Amino acid sequence: MIDTTTSMKKKTPHLIRKWSGVIWLLIEVNLFGGTIFGFPALFQILPQYNIYGENNDCSSSSNTIESEESSCERYQTRHYQNALTLGIILFEIPSLIIGPMIDRFGCRFVKLISIIFHIVGWLALAFVSPGRDSLLYVHTAFSSLSGVMVLLTAYSSSGYFTKSRAFVSALFAGACTSATMWYSIFQVCCNVFSLQKEKVEFDSIYFCINLF
């Protein structure tokens, strides 16, 4: 009886540490995980800053103003969709490389790389502007790579839970899906506070820093 009580006392702090780690990982995955899938929320914001708006498709003469605007909108939307597609591809395919990296170098090393990618990605969004439109692709690429790294390192920790591995994995999957809300929150901040480019740059940098 005494041995059983002693064993339970030893297990309790260990369980607390494990589940505290899960809560922390859930926060990480919710902040960084599948954010790329919420990127379409910016499709209505980016044209206001003339992102991919300084092109022949947007400035060429047309028969009517309406047709000119329609051509410009299609051109801009096409680039936004391409940036989104690039992000989704880089969220899915690199798993074949990131998995072996985790096995070889460990979760901490991979997570350190993901932090660097995350900072680069959001700073790219902060400084995207007419003439630097391609930074939008940099943003989606690095943000997606950061997100999948964080997600896979979190999944690897579910191996510590022999009896509740599926439950922990399901929590991480849900947190990854809920991460799509951050672009919508960013969109609301841009609409509510200011439509000035300088303010958006500040919001992007502030948003990036506060996630850490």
- Work out the angle between the directed axes of helices 181-193 and 197-210 (0-180°, nearest 10): 140
What pLDDT sits at residue 1?
A: 47
Q: How far is CA 15 from CA 8, 192, 212, in A?
A: 10, 44, 26
Whether 123 contacts 204, CB under 8 Å: yes
**CB atoms near residue 75 (< 10 Å):** 15
Q: What is the Cα–Cα distance from 82 to 46, expressed in whole angstroms?
A: 14
pLDDT reading at 156 higher than 70: yes
Q: Per-domain residue ranges for the chain?
A: 25-42+87-210
* Residue corresponding to tokens 């849900």: 174
* Residue corresponding to tokens 């999944």: 155
Please give the model's pTM, rounded to 2 decimal places: 0.80
Whether 26 contacts 173, CB under 8 Å: no
Summarize pLDDT for 113-155 with one digit per residue, the tens. 999 999 999 899 888 888 889 999 999 999 999 999 999 999 9
* Residue corresponding to tokens 């209505």: 44
